[in-house]
Amino acid sequence: MTRRLRHALGFAAFVSLLPCTGALGASDPNQGWVEVRSPHFVVSSNAGEKEARRIADQFEQIRALFRIAFPNLRVDPAEPVLILAAKNENTMKMLLPEKWEVKGHVHPAGLYQPGEDKHYVVLRLDAGGENPYRALYHEYTHALLHLNFAALPLWLDEGLAEFYGNSRLGEKESRVGTIDQSHLYILGQNKLLPLETLLNVEQGSRYYNEANQASVFYAESWALVHYLMLHPQAHQQQLLKNFFAAWDQSGSQLEAAKQAFGDLKRFGQVIEAYSRQRVFRAALFKYGQQAADKTYAVRSLPAGEVLALRGDCASHRKMFEQARPLVEQAVQAEPNQAISHEALGYYLYRKEDRSGADREMKKAMELGSTSFVAPYYHGLLVLRGGLAAPEMMREAIKSLEKAAQINPQFAPAFEGLAQAYSAAPETQKQALDAGIRAVQLEPATHVYAINLVNLLLNADRDEDARQMAQRILDKAASLEEAQEARALLERIKEHEQWAAQMKAQAEAAARLTSKTAVASAPPAQPVTNSSTPTPVKTEDLLAVDGVIGGVDCSRKPAITMTLKGGNRPMRFRAADFGAVGVTGADGDIPGLDACEKWKGRRIRIWFHAVKGKDYMGEITDLAFL
């Protein structure tokens, strides 16, 4: 299983489905489909209304199972779960043609595809075998865990997924923790890893990536979790709960394991003996009443909408050659249907055709789309292309706010709002609030936590930023994440030092009883070779040397300039560049029309410090060095 798949956030539970019979006589494979909407899932199937209802029932039942098993955790992802239930192999081949391209390959009974805006599940209803959907249960458990935890030890993440992956689900009761014979065989034929080694396995470890050792890792992780979940003594002593509490407090899973499990060598012997026994317990969950609401909404799907679903699913699977004719045919068949334009827009978005994607998303909104998808992507696309234009930024905010209103659990909309709000000084508080909301909704999304640290720094909440960065470091799942967290902590330190220096200089300037006139061309100062901005003393102004990292002169005559260096670039602004005194080495004085060529030039900036803005000061003079 890939890291990318394991870090997908929130997706549907999957149930074991009995083979179904019955055929539809329509020659067009896009005809004869029905949609059933239950409270938490949307099922589209060509097997008839009765079978679609049954599928919806069973998906609701497994959701109820996880709500019972995890009463304090979120079990509903923010993104809709769309289930395509194929009545037979021919339909499955139509939905996933790439799985039949290589002769002799195993054909899947089901597939799960996560996405930023929705999750797709594709199931074959006539699949055989004892538990054909085990991999889907496994992935559901991962998504559920990642929806609630920023990071989990790898043994616990995989062990829980294996534990629930072999569940046996029924209409009235379900069994969880049933044994996997392959795990028992591996444990019986191989030497187990020392428990301390198992606890320390990470993504890059050979125990996780090499086939035979990986199988031992999975099997032993399953045995350990099975013991913690179902052994009477472990349950009575609440070992797993104690581990979580100790791990949350210390940030070290090894120390937490020692505290919760005791001597690890002795506990490892207990797990080895447990894994070699012949009889294992299983947990039985009975449903007090049917989980399904029998008032499910049912409708027939027009052929154009089935084409849109097929094409959108292919786009989410990155099968773009399959997707293109399907989404184009969907728009031709149903030009006044919002979902067709959303599907085409998403395809164009994934193909990096931003203008085409935005055109289709706007068309979907014009046609009355009630989904958050179109306003989200419209706002995102405007945000990526309109940072320099205030009116475009307002348009992005308006659209992202609409998406967040339609789906208040959708973290990407709040992350987009955090970026859009942060572009203007007057909306810094909204930016911080949106960033906090995004992290609350998806604590496992590393980039959201990183961005929140930066927003806290922009708000001069250095202590809060430090605590957040320290948590990122404590929960780092890789060496790269740990290095990034340490860089954040160093940046916070530099910000505190810079803020203290700026405060001292501003206070010194305020104490001056007289002002010294500043010539429009300040005398040159010695040039250093360092690329890090260097403060320069003046009597009534602040000054800084540095290398230009970016210039925004799209709002002429205003200009914004960023100096790079260190871990915190510094931004400065001039409301009217024509009022700024400019000098250049050897008479080299570049004009505003060529501002895009300034990047990389060394410069000295004289400025008045400002507070409550997203830039450090107002520029009075520039000297190109």
**Assigned token pair, 309:** 């679903």
Q: What integer is the mean pLDDT of 546-551?
A: 82
Q: What is the pTM of this model?
A: 0.69
Q: What is the pLDDT of residues 487-525, one digit of tens each?
A: 889 888 888 887 787 777 667 666 654 444 444 444 444
CA 586 to CA 625: how far, in whole Å?
9
What's the confidence (pLDDT) of residue 510? 65
Domain boundaries, the chain: 1-151+166-172+293-301, 179-281, 534-624
Q: What is the pLDDT of residues 400-426, one digit of tens each?
A: 999 999 999 999 999 999 988 987 778
Helix axes 446-458, 428-441, angle to 10 degrees: 160
Kindly tell me the burial class for residue 254, based on how many C-beta atoms sit within 10 Å of its own C-beta (0-12, 13-18, 19 or more).
middle
Q: What integer is the mean pLDDT of 459-467?
A: 91
What's the confidence (pLDDT) of residue 541? 62
Q: What integer is the mean pLDDT of 321-348?
A: 96
Local structure of residue 529 (DSSP, 8 states) = S
pLDDT over 50 at 531, yes or no:
no
pLDDT over 70 at 565, yes or no:
no
C-alpha torsion angle, residues 450, 453, 455, 459 (rounded to 10): -170
Q: With bands split at pLDDT 50, 70 and 90, how would you rate the model's confidence at 341?
A: very high
Enclosing H/E stretch for 165: helix 154-165
Q: With bands split at pLDDT 50, 70 and 90, how would you rate the model's confidence at 4?
A: very low
Q: What is the pLDDT of residues 428-450, one digit of tens each?
A: 899 999 999 999 998 878 889 99
Neighbours of 396 (CB within 10 A): 27
Helix segments in 31-114, DSSP class H: 49-69, 89-95
Q: What is the pLDDT of residues 365-395, one digit of tens each?
A: 999 999 999 999 999 999 887 655 678 889 9
What's the confidence (pLDDT) of residue 512? 54
Which residues have CB under 8 Å from 557's CB, separation 6+?
A: 575, 576, 577, 578, 592
Q: What is the pLDDT of residues 131-140, one digit of tens each?
A: 777 777 787 7
Closest CA to 623 of 518, 553, 530, 501: 518
Local structure of residue 191 (DSSP, 8 states) = P
Q: What integer is the mean pLDDT of 58-68?
A: 79
pLDDT over 50 at 559, yes or no:
yes
Helix axes 239-250, 211-230, angle to 10 degrees: 110
Cα dist from 386 to 383, 403, 509, 554, whole Å: 5, 18, 38, 11
Closest CA to 124 of 77, 90, 166: 90
What's the confidence (pLDDT) of residue 33? 97
Find out whether 64 and 336 touch, Cβ atoms under 8 Å.
no
Q: Are strands 42-45 and 34-37 parallel, antiparallel or unpaired?
A: antiparallel
What's the confidence (pLDDT) of residue 513? 42
Closest CA to 224 of 304, 317, 290, 159: 159
Please compute, for residue 387, the number of CA atoms within 13 A of its CA located in the half-sphere on the CB side: 9
CATH code of the domain occupying 1-151+166-172+293-301: 3.40.30
What's the confidence (pLDDT) of residue 524? 45
SS (H, E, C) 283-322: EEEECCCCCCCCCCEEEECCHHHHHHHHHHHHHHCCCHHH
Closest CA to 378 of 408, 409, 401: 401
What's the confidence (pLDDT) of residue 150? 66
First and final CA of the chain: distance in angstroms? 54
Rounded to the nearest 5°, which phi and psi values hold at 41?
A: -140, 160
Q: Are strands 168-169 and 602-609 parallel, antiparallel or unpaired?
A: unpaired
Q: What is the pLDDT of residues 575-596, one digit of tens each?
A: 888 777 776 644 455 666 677 7
What's the confidence (pLDDT) of residue 521? 44
Q: What is the pLDDT of residues 472-485, one digit of tens each?
A: 888 787 788 888 88
Neighbours of 114 (CB within 10 A): 20
**Assigned token pair, 269:** 């012997």
What's the confidence (pLDDT) of residue 15? 25
CA 324 to CA 310: how far, in whole Å?
10
Find out whether 96 and 111 touch, Cβ atoms under 8 Å.
yes
CA 2 and chain centroid, separation: 16
CA 538 to CA 270: how far, in whole Å?
72
CA 625 to CA 622: how far, in whole Å?
9
Q: Exposed e or buried b for every residue in 450-460, given b needs 16+ CB within 10 A?
A: bbbbbbbbbbe
pLDDT over 90 at 304, yes or no:
yes
What's the confidence (pLDDT) of residue 384? 82
pLDDT over 90 at 267, yes or no:
yes
The correct CATH number of 534-624 out of 2.40.50.140, 3.90.420.10, 3.40.50.850, 1.10.630.10 is 2.40.50.140
**Assigned token pair, 282:** 């299983």
The alpha carbon dihedral of 89, 93, 95, 100 has a sign of positive
**If you write DSSP's letter for every residue of 230-284 in order, what string do you get?**
H-HHHHHHTHHHHHHHHHHHHS-HHHHHHHHH-SHHHHHHHHHHHHT-S----EE
